[in-house]
Amino acid sequence: MSSPSDLPLLRVEKVSHAYSPETPVLAPVSFDVADGEFVCIVGTSGSGKSTLLRIIGGLVEAKAGAVWLAGALSTEPHPEIGFVFQKTNLMPWRTALENVLLPLELLGPITPTHRSQAMALLELVGLADSAHSFPAQLSGGMAQRLVLARALVRHPRLLLLDEPFGALDALTRERLNLELLRIQTSQQQTVVMVTHSINEAVFLGDRVLVLGEQPGRILAEIHVDLPRPRNLALMGSEKFGALATEIRRHIGLVEG
Ligand SMILES: Nc1ncnc2c1ncn2[C@@H]1O[C@H](COP(=O)(O)OP(=O)(O)OP(=O)(O)O)[C@@H](O)[C@H]1O
Ligand SMILES: [Mg+2]
């Protein structure tokens, strides 16, 4: 008999999708994510990565297949799932702190405990000094960290990240990758992250799923057996380079 701990936190089972009958966007896609695991999804533009993430988050209904969260069928937005979208969708008239509190406000009245939880999260993402700033007063990287704090405020068991750092410069992106790793380690957070950056996927992930296009399907699953904790120096290692090349080969960027 299986115990709940044997169950994957997330099971994506033969999920397929089409926005119109003549153009399938996702072929049946299946994979599991274990509790505490960090899974990255890479693939060319239009391969259905955001669609897949939205189906997992219950924001788009799959045409076929099922999404299971801790063994229970998941069909709509779930309080145990935090989502960071491809574009920041902060409320411009609310301060940083008020933006983080928003998901809690939807559940009921805000208490002093909620406020201190939100402040602790702002601290975690390095924004304690900007708690009373408005989004327009934040840099791009700060806004992304704020979105991350907001996604974490309900202590989601599963965090879905859709290219959270895609619009940022390379230096800010590297710094945020390190912060994300730190947060993920300290909270033992389960993460599924879509990224265009193969290096980012190898650096962060325990596993990388390579999605092929038209319709999107899993071409390869790469286990990233690099030691943790990870640091940026790892990117220069032979093993790191070999993993990145293997992924590029599956996407068709490297011959052989
Ligand atoms: N709401 C929608 N209605 C109709 N077609 C859509 C919709 N959203 C996405 N598509 C189409 O579905 C396909 C997959 O889109 P999706 O956004 O999932 O790709 P993606 O892999 O996330 O791309 P990118 O890397 O550019 O973000 C694309 O051909 C896109 O045009
Ligand atoms: Mg996308």
- Does pLDDT of 240 surpass 90? yes
Residue 186 is predicted with a pLDDT of 87
**Mean pLDDT, range 149-160, rounded to an integer:** 94
Spans of all domains in the chain: 7-77+158-167+189-256, 81-155
As a whole number of angstroms, the distance between CA 135 and CA 150 comes to 13
- Atom of ligand 1 minimally distant from the CA of 48: 18
Give the three-class secondary structure for 89: coil
Task: Give the helix ranges, DSSP H, for 28-169.
Answer: 49-56, 96-105, 112-124, 140-152
Which numbered ligand comes closest to the C-alpha of 51? Answer: 1
Which residue's CA is the nearest one to ligand 1's atom 13? 46
Q: What is the pLDDT of residues 8-54, one digit of tens each?
A: 999 999 999 999 999 999 999 999 999 999 999 999 899 999 999 99
Mean residue pLDDT of the chain comes to 92
CATH superfamily of 7-77+158-167+189-256: P-loop containing nucleotide triphosphate hydrolases (3.40.50.300)
Residue 168 is predicted with a pLDDT of 85
Query: pTM (2 decimals)?
Result: 0.94
Q: What is the pLDDT of residues 164-222, one digit of tens each?
A: 988 888 888 888 899 899 989 988 999 999 999 999 999 999 999 999 988 999 999 99
The CA 212 to ligand 2 mean position distance, Å, reads 13
As a whole number of angstroms, the distance between CA 184 and CA 190 comes to 7
As a whole number of angstroms, the distance between CA 128 and CA 124 comes to 8
Q: List, chain by chain if needed, residues with CB within 6 Å of any ligand 1 atom.
A: 19, 25, 43, 45-51, 86
The CA 229 to ligand 2 mean position distance, Å, reads 28
- Does pLDDT of 1 surpass 70? no
As a whole number of angstroms, the distance between CA 33 and CA 158 comes to 10
Q: What is the pLDDT of residues 86-114, one digit of tens each?
A: 888 899 999 999 999 999 998 899 999 99
Residue 4 is predicted with a pLDDT of 54
